[in-house]
Amino acid sequence: MFLYSLTLQRASAIIQSIHGNFDGSKQQQIVVARGKILELIKLDPNTGKIYTLLSHEVFGVIRAIMAFRLTGGNKDYVVVGSDSGRIVILEYVASKNAFEKEADSDPTGEGAQNTSQLLTYYELDLGLNHVVRKYSEPLEEHGNFLIAVPGGSDGPSGVLVCSENYITYKNLGDQPDIRMPIPRRRNDLDDPERGMIFVCSTTHKTKSMFFFLAQTEQGDLFKITLETDEDMVTEVRMKYFDTVPVATTMNVLKTGFLFIAAEFGNHYLYQIAHLGDDDDEQEFSSATISRKEKHSSLLPGLSEIWWKLINWKIADLANEDTPQLYVACGRGPKSSMRVLRHGLEVSEMAVSELPGNPNAVWTVKRKAEEEYDAYIIVSFVNATLVLSIGETVEEVTDSGFLGTTPTLSSSLIGDDALLQIYPDGIRHIRADKRVNEWKTPGKKNIVKCAVNQRQVVIALTGGELVYFEMDPTGQLNEYTERKEMSTDVKCMSLASVPSGEQRARFLAVGLDDNTVRIISLDQNDCLQPLSMQALPAPAESLCIVEMGSGSDTREERGEDRGTSGGLFLNIGLQNGVLLRMVLDSVTGDLSDTRTRYLGSRPVKLFRIFMQGSEAVLAMSSRSWLSYWYQSRFHLTPLSYETLEYASGFASEQCPEGIVAISTNTLRILALEKLGAVFNQVSTPLKYSPRKFAVLPDSSNVVVIETDHNAYTETTKAQRKQQMAEEMVEAAGEEDRELAAEMAEAFLKEDQQESEFGSPKAGAGMWASQIRLLNPVQGNTLDTIRLEQNEAAFSLSVCKFNNHPDQTYVLIGTAKDLTMSPRTCSGGIIYTYLVKEEGNEIELIHKTLVDDVPAAICPFQGRVLIGVGKLLRIYDLGKKKLLRKCENKHIPNFIVNVTSVGQRIVVSDVQESLHFVRYKRQENSLVIFADDTYARWVTATCILDYDTVMCADKFGNISVIRLTSSVNDSVDEDPTGIKALWDRGVLSGASQKADPIATFHVGETVLSLQKCTLIPGGSESVVYTTLSGAIGILVPFTSHEDHDFFQHLEMHMRAEYPPLCGRDHISYRSYYFPVKNVIDGDLCEQFNSMESGKQKSVAEELERNPSEVSKKLEDIRTRFAF
């Protein structure tokens, strides 16, 4: 078996972020490290939106990033420290949109950490070009991180040492230490033993001042300033700023934005409303004082989503055509259940009803240099409606457009003239409202037309083409000849006029005889056919676009990016298929066809602008957007209802929108999250979700939510009550009344945990609940709260032989679990009966067990339950579950049980898989084979009767197969005695499974599922990781393909080694040698190589570059998106 690994959605967790001017312009950007991905993010200060400029996988673990600037330079470089053992300096080259390696060097000792309680000052001696140890002193407390205070002309220099409960300012020389406690929340429910630490900080420095923002573990932001007196720091001041999600890193930008890379949950961008200088918020300068209510110094901005994917399932619960992904994600009070659908999220800006059912819609600008559209023109069967765009959209009659006829096309032509094409003629409206009309000859009508900025081509009935071109005076002139086509014209398209040129050179015409012809419009051979393409079905619509390098970005880049950029002809067929071909910009030849089925209706194509470059909106029974994003073509469906006609739309509120019609409504839509594969609907949960299961015959799911270090609602209420009583008791005689009032207020106060975080209860405290949820509608049908310190861990939906017509839900919980070493006072298995078609569950009974029941799996009308290290079979009884059979030979702790036929696959927490056979006659469970490696299994997926895929905690995925020589000891050894007593070495099983494929993903994989992601696609294994990535592993179907990709991977390793200097093979072989898996992510970087290298790699493979990228696209679209 050979597999191909691909990432569908990159990880969204951020490890570290830095800000600086990386492209050398005035604007600040952010570079974030997402573990193995380095990403450059741009903020739009006007809209507060985040755009990803570049995302690059480095195939290594990024440990640290830092921005630095050469003296006198205006551009920041990125220094990356990674597990490759090298320090790499990267420069962002805007013209190529790529990070380029500047230098890499072997590591020198640069550990400035004070793990041994010593604070050591190092000085970089520029003369010696070496780090010199200046001074070192012991610290009173163990610090967890340091904040450097600007020195030289900017400030007093020195460091702030953050340690548990305290922050201390230290500097060399005479400066005395200034120490102050970290303020704590008043009346906190946290474990009183806990200290408080700062988790991250950021420095903001302008010419005149600087301050620090530091965040505590609870999410409270403090603004720290230093008071100085002639270079001596006299005071450290701290002021409460706001409460935001706990971050891993944060950045203050010059434009007044605060970027929060949250450790779990969405990342946020805030706009700083005020710096809190002039309000009456209490300032701390020495003693611990409790803090006041949350007040807001920040305006919430846009958030970028990141999920900690815990568990997921693919199913069609909403009864749509395509399955949805159901994902349980997040942590604690910020966790949620999300429904993901493949497609671009569409935000609806406006919907308005029209008097009838329109046929078509266009937007028109008044002048070519204007930024926004002026008119929306809607064509009906017998009339045309002109709407002007302003504060509101209203009908106008003075635009010059003819309103009494249907319209075929309307657009801006030349610099400031308007053009309307209707069945009887062409109406050319000059800027001064002079109107030139061209009427069709005789009884002929205009059937189709194609228009760009300077050219007009119309097709008359019978297949006659008439060509007009605009001359320098703004006059439309008909070309002397007309061209007679052999059959009726079905559709036409003209490319936009390239900047600096007079005309577009090609016209594409789709004819009735299932062909598309390219016709030259060049002056030398005007209206001469250049090339022809036969089609499988009649063409419905054509669209020539320039993609691969945006029309405006191209000038900045000043170069063409190899084979990828250029003209593309998109052909929408009547049978719902979209073809995309490369149109040679010199000869007009068509090549490199890509095919994709879009839907059941004929495909209509519209050219629109997305992020400054051309894109194609294709409409069939679903609407799709074909666009170029981050060096790759994307064809993504829109998550929106069926549309009929559309046009680009630009206004002040919506600079890159779409105006579309659907039955009798006019809609203005915006697509904002380009590049995102999924859009989502989310339902909040209370605690971290652990597992969920779909109830059969309903669209409901049962979720178990469990949090360590947390209080249940009941305990929380008790503790509050207790604290309130203490508060009153502690108060003196005269303040008692006041204290009672305060206590009452405290009891009433209900802090939003999703905002402030939940109180930390301390180790060994568990809170858990069971929830019945409809994820499609997002409503909770039932919740069952468990007691304090009882935690649910396993869940299964099953049927029992003795009650075959009823469905049960089994939930396993542990009581008083401690994590390290693992102990518990017992476990309970709850049996619930599913009632009311899955809308209700009723408790039947509880079964006590002596260890944690962490895995439940239905098995032949009974259930298999892993209780600690014991594997047991239970059957349903009247008062409790009845134990039928037990196996005690699993080494440590059973985390997962699955079964196929007679075989049972049991995963141990640290000793990989065990293959177990149930022998009915003897009623025994026999381990007949196991694995040779100790894998710390997190997820398993059965591929076939002999093959299992498993993922481990360290980020590896392996496929394990029982060879044909392995027998499950039934035929040859009917008693099972041999397998029972014939133990292999070190008490392992006597037979061993073979690893047939291994691969290091780099992130902890938490779920594996075999499924088809797109309708009509082939099956693949989909995995999700803790950092939020979704990837697939697909099998190769032919040796030829495998051979090709193996060679491509080999050449890519040589020609395009990972950016941070990590050896690609050693990265993919981090824990086990990589075997039989080809890294598709590396192969797909082929598309972002420069064209020279692309050519040389393709030559080695005896192909040309476009064939290679077609292969890459093919394998992706066959299985996924």
Partner 1 sequence: MGDRYNIFSQMEHLQSKYIGTGHSDTTKWEWLTNQHRDTFSSLIGHYDMMNFVAVAENESKARVKFNMLEKLIQPCGPPPERPEDQ
Residue 572 exposure: Cα atoms within 13 Å on the Cβ side: 30
- In the complex with partner 1, which residue's Cβ is closer, 244 or 376? 244
| CA 329/CA 449 separation, integer angstroms | 51
Instruction: Answer whether 403's CB lies under 8 Å from 386's CB.
Output: yes
In sequence order, what E strands does 178-252 have? 178-181, 184-185, 198-205, 210-216, 220-229, 232-243, 247-252
Q: To the nearest whole angstrom, how small is the minimum distance from the Cβ of residue 709 to partner 1? A: 4
H/E stretch holding 40? strand 37-44
Q: Answer yes or no whether residue 263 interacts with partner 1 by CB under 8 A.
A: yes
Residue 732 one-letter amino acid:
G
Instruction: Give, in order, the Cα–Cα distances in Å from 12 to each of 9, 195, 700, 911, 1003.
Output: 8, 30, 28, 30, 12
Residues 276-315 binding partner 1 (CB under 8 A) are 308
Q: To the nearest whole angstrom, how small is the minimum distance from the Cβ of residue 1121 to partner 1? A: 25
Part in contact with partner 1 (CB under 8 A); list of ranges 169-177, 741-749, 872-880, 1022-1030: 1022-1030
Among 483, 505, 708, 935, binds partner 1 (CB under 8 A): 708
Among 61, 643, 650, 703, binds partner 1 (CB under 8 A): 61
Q: Answer yes or no whether residue 688 interacts with partner 1 by CB under 8 A.
A: yes
Handedness of CA 327, 329, 332, 336 (dihedral sign): negative
Among 21, 336, 709, 956, binds partner 1 (CB under 8 A): 709
Q: Answer yes or no whether residue 822 interacts with partner 1 by CB under 8 A.
A: no
- In the complex with partner 1, which residue's Cβ is closer, 111 or 804? 111
Q: Answer yes or no whether residue 604 interacts with partner 1 by CB under 8 A.
A: no
| CA 706/CA 690 separation, integer angstroms | 6
Chain centroid, CA 439 distance in Å: 54
- In the complex with partner 1, which residue's Cβ is closer, 182 or 605? 182
Instruction: Answer whether 710's CB lies under 8 Å from 687's CB.
Output: yes
Q: Answer yes or no whether residue 692 interacts with partner 1 by CB under 8 A.
A: no
Instruction: Answer whether 68's CB lies under 8 Å from 48's CB.
Output: no
Among 53, 79, 139, 197, binds partner 1 (CB under 8 A): 197
Residue 900 main-chain phi, psi, to 5 deg: -140, 120
Instruction: Answer whether 347's CB lies under 8 Å from 670's CB.
Output: yes
Q: To the nearest whole angstrom, how small is the minimum distance from the Cβ of residue 708 to partner 1? A: 5
Q: Answer yes or no whether residue 707 interacts with partner 1 by CB under 8 A.
A: yes
Instruction: Answer whether 942's CB lies under 8 Å from 963's CB.
Output: no
Part in contact with partner 1 (CB under 8 A); list of ranges 193-201, 274-282, 966-974, 1057-1065: 193-201
Part in contact with partner 1 (CB under 8 A); list of ranges 198-206, 401-409, 643-651, 919-927: 198-206
* Angle of the 1105-1119 helix axis to the 1039-1055 helix axis, nearest 10: 120
Residues 239-258 binding partner 1 (CB under 8 A) are 246, 248
Instruction: Answer whether 335's CB lies under 8 Å from 688's CB.
Output: yes
Residues 497-556 binding partner 1 (CB under 8 A) are none
Residue 582 exposure: Cα atoms within 13 Å on the Cβ side: 17
- In the complex with partner 1, which residue's Cβ is closer, 335 or 998? 335
Residues 980-1019 binding partner 1 (CB under 8 A) are 1002-1004
| CA 539/CA 604 separation, integer angstroms | 10
Q: To the nearest whole angstrom, how small is the minimum distance from the Cβ of residue 652 to partner 1? A: 42
H/E stretch holding 744? helix 736-748
* Closest listed residue to residue 902, CA positions, set 920, 888, 914, 922: 920
- In the complex with partner 1, which residue's Cβ is closer, 337 or 545? 337
Residue 372 main-chain phi, psi, to 5 deg: -115, 155
Q: Answer yes or no whether residue 199 interacts with partner 1 by CB under 8 A.
A: yes
Residues 109-168 binding partner 1 (CB under 8 A) are 115-116, 142, 144-145, 164
Q: To the nearest whole angstrom, how small is the minimum distance from the Cβ of residue 1002 to partner 1? A: 8
| CA 660/CA 658 separation, integer angstroms | 6
H/E stretch holding 914? strand 913-919
- In the complex with partner 1, which residue's Cβ is closer, 540 or 707? 707
Percent helix / strand / coil, the chain, rounded to 5: 10, 50, 40
Q: To the nearest whole angstrom, how small is the minimum distance from the Cβ of residue 143 to partner 1? A: 9
Q: To the nearest whole angstrom, how small is the minimum distance from the Cβ of residue 806 to partner 1? A: 35
Among 183, 332, 400, 637, binds partner 1 (CB under 8 A): 332
Tokens of 1028: 């939020």
Residues 207-226 binding partner 1 (CB under 8 A) are 217
Q: To the nearest whole angstrom, how small is the minimum distance from the Cβ of residue 655 to partner 1? A: 37
- In the complex with partner 1, which residue's Cβ is closer, 217 or 1055? 217
Q: To the nearest whole angstrom, how small is the minimum distance from the Cβ of residue 144 to partner 1? A: 4
- In the complex with partner 1, which residue's Cβ is closer, 42 or 63? 63
Q: Answer yes or no whether residue 83 interacts with partner 1 by CB under 8 A.
A: yes
- In the complex with partner 1, which residue's Cβ is closer, 709 or 991? 709
* Closest listed residue to residue 65, CA positions, set 24, 10, 98, 18: 18
Instruction: Answer whether 791's CB lies under 8 Å from 744's CB.
Output: no
- Cβ contacts of 800 within 8 Å, gap of 6 or more: 806, 808, 861, 862, 863, 875, 876
Residues 400-459 binding partner 1 (CB under 8 A) are none
Q: Answer yes or no whether residue 57 interacts with partner 1 by CB under 8 A.
A: no
Q: Answer yes or no whether residue 819 interacts with partner 1 by CB under 8 A.
A: yes
Q: Answer yes or no whether residue 84 interacts with partner 1 by CB under 8 A.
A: no
Residues 936-955 binding partner 1 (CB under 8 A) are 953-955
**How many other CB atoms sit within 10 Å of the CB of residue 415?**
13
Instruction: Give, in order, the Cα–Cα distances in Å from 380 to each of 344, 355, 405.
Output: 29, 10, 8
Tokens of 838: 């899955």
Instruction: Answer whether 702's CB lies under 8 Å from 784's CB.
Output: no
| CA 863/CA 870 separation, integer angstroms | 14
Q: To the nearest whole angstrom, how small is the minimum distance from the Cβ of residue 595 to partner 1? A: 38
* Closest listed residue to residue 1117, CA positions, set 8, 341, 203, 3: 8
Residues 13-42 binding partner 1 (CB under 8 A) are 13, 15, 35
| CA 1029/CA 488 separation, integer angstroms | 50
Q: Answer yes or no whether residue 1026 interacts with partner 1 by CB under 8 A.
A: yes
- In the complex with partner 1, which residue's Cβ is closer, 83 or 1107? 83
Tokens of 885: 């059979």
Instruction: Give, in order, the Cα–Cα distances in Å from 402 to each of 353, 377, 396, 1032.
Output: 22, 11, 12, 55
Q: How many contiguous H segments (helices) and E segments (strands) does the chain have? A: 10, 84
Part in contact with partner 1 (CB under 8 A); list of ranges 470-478, 706-714, 847-855, 1102-1110: 706-714
- In the complex with partner 1, which residue's Cβ is closer, 494 or 710? 710
Among 847, 1027, 1085, 1109, binds partner 1 (CB under 8 A): 1027
Q: To the nearest whole angstrom, how small is the minimum distance from the Cβ of residue 803 to partner 1? A: 37
Q: Answer yes or no whether residue 1025 interacts with partner 1 by CB under 8 A.
A: yes
Residues 748-807 binding partner 1 (CB under 8 A) are 760, 763
Sheet containing strand 166-170, edge to edge, reads 143-148, 159-163, 166-170, 178-181
Q: To the nearest whole angstrom, how small is the minimum distance from the Cβ of residue 192 to partner 1? A: 16
Q: To the nearest whole angstrom, how small is the minimum distance from the Cβ of residue 386 to partner 1? A: 56
Q: To the nearest whole angstrom, how small is the minimum distance from the Cβ of residue 278 to partner 1? A: 31
Q: State the number of binding residues for partner 1 (CB under 8 A).
A: 41
Q: To the nearest whole angstrom, how small is the minimum distance from the Cβ of residue 268 to partner 1? A: 16
Q: To the nearest whole angstrom, how small is the minimum distance from the Cβ of residue 334 to partner 1? A: 12
Write out the residues near partner 1 by the rule CB under 8 A: 13, 15, 35, 61, 63, 83, 115-116, 142, 144-145, 164, 197-200, 217, 246, 248, 263-264, 308, 331-332, 688, 707-710, 760, 763, 819, 953-955, 1002-1004, 1025-1027
